[in-house]
Amino acid sequence: MWAIIWDDADFIEIPLKTIDEPRFVVIGKILEKHWSAIITYRNEKVRIISVRRSRKEEVEIYES
């Protein structure tokens, strides 16, 4: 069974400070665990750069 962060109705997207291209961290829950994805938008599509378990600070942002 595949689950993605965007399936979480409460996911959040936060812009990151970058020099070259706009990037965002998307924080959501998959199977009751917090996950974070670093993404960018290219040609009207989402490009996933990385996905990992959320850091403590990201969980706190999501839960606030």
CA angle 34, 37, 35 (to 5 degrees): 10
Percentage above 70 pLDDT, the chain: 95
pLDDT tens per residue, range 10-39:
999 999 998 889 999 999 999 999 999 999
Residue-level pLDDT at 5? 82
What average pLDDT score do residues 36-48 get?
Answer: 93
d(CA 9, CA 17): 25
pLDDT band at 1 (very low <50, low <70, confident <90, very high): very low
